[in-house]
Amino acid sequence: MPRPPGHGPGYEIKRQEIIDQAAALFAKHGYAATGIAELGQVAGLAKGALYYYIGSKENLLVEIQDRVLGPLLTAARQIAALDEDPVLRLRLLSETLLGNILARLDHIWVYEHDYRHLRGANRARLLRQRREFEKIVLDLLAEAMESGAFRRLDPRLAMLQFLNLHNHTYQWAHRDGQWDAEFLSREYCATLFSGFCNSGYDVAGLEKRLADYRDRSSA
């Protein structure tokens, strides 16, 4: 969303760079404790020029949140709409979520810690998006219960367990960690689905069906 009208071709590129740098700083020190001066130093820009790009500090926060929630929601909506077993879709969603987390660890730090510094409309929009994501997870879990794959659980508590397990990952994961999204997703889902599924359900077969799905969709 390029703000003011009339900007040169390099504007948006530089702007995105600055948002990257801001995300790194916010992740490290927290949004409130990061000064605009510090960001200027990192960006190699005087304060005036900085504001030419960022508009305001809160605006940076908005952009960072959008970078997290935008792709995530898009992917989640697509996955939810697939004509596949709900458990498989949960597994896909899990991997997408973890992929997003691991790919942009600093963005996630900010996303998880500093959303409360958003005000007014920005905050409302964020919360709406968060709720939409949670709803997608909730609905998939409910579907999995209806399909007989999962036991009758409190769907909300199931969703919260799903999110707890995934979303807390940013706290200890680090760039170039030993585990990638695929591995973590397999492990997390193995744990969750063992707990959630009916005795009759073939948890072990899930990874096989995932591979099949991937063959099909890449074909």
Q: Which residues bind a copy of itself (CB under 8 A)?
A: 6, 28-30, 32-33, 46, 112-114, 116-117, 157, 160-161, 163-169, 171-172, 179, 187-188, 190-192, 194-196
Question: Cα 142–147–150 angle (5° rounding)?
Answer: 65
Torsion of CA 106, 111, 117, 119, to 10 degrees: 130
CB 141 within 8 A of CB 158: yes
CB 141 within 8 A of CB 163: no
51 binds, among DNA, a copy of itself, none (CB under 5 to 8 A by kind): DNA
Within 13 Å of residue 197, how many CA atoms lie on the same side as its CB? 19
195 binds, among a copy of itself, DNA, none (CB under 5 to 8 A by kind): a copy of itself
Smallest distance from the beta carbon of 187 to a copy of itself, in angstroms?
Answer: 6
CB 2 within 8 A of CB 12: yes
Give whichever of 5 and 200 is closer to DNA, judged by the CB atom: 5
129 alpha-carbon distance from chain centroid: 11
Asked if 28 interacts with DNA (CB under 7 A), we say no
Give whichever of 30 and 71 is closer to DNA, judged by the CB atom: 30
45-104: which residues touch DNA (CB under 7 A)? 45-49, 51-53, 56-58
Site residues (CB under 7 A) for DNA? 6-11, 14, 34-38, 45-49, 51-53, 56-58
